[in-house]
Amino acid sequence: MKREILIKFGNKVRKERAKLGLSQEGLAAKAGVHRTYIGMIERAEKNITLQNIEKVAKALGLKLPDFFSDF
């Protein structure tokens, strides 16, 4: 179960990033995180913190409830 939520989250980040035409590096810059961190999130290798979830959602132009609506 733990891994499943990380996979869903990573897929959502990748999908929303692609919609905006952003590279992983571009999203990282907008979110204020390291470029490799985005790749690790998308590959479900990182258990992202709430603070970083908020940063990524904002960088993607999404509100937190909207971000999780597909789950």
pLDDT over 90 (residue 70): no
One-letter amino acid of 8: K
Multiple choice CATH, 2-67, 1.10.260.40, 2.60.40.10, 3.40.50.300, 1.20.120.160: 1.10.260.40
CB atoms within 10 A of CB 70: 10
CB atoms within 10 A of CB 67: 19
- What's the chain's average pLDDT? 94
pLDDT tier at 1 (50, 70, 90 boundaries)? Answer: low
One-letter amino acid of 28: A
Query: Alpha helix locations (H) across the chain?
Result: 2-19, 24-31, 35-42, 50-59, 64-67
pLDDT tier at 48 (50, 70, 90 boundaries)? Answer: very high
Task: Show Cβ contacts of residue 59 under 8 Å, excluding neighbours closer than 6 positions.
Answer: 27, 30, 31, 32
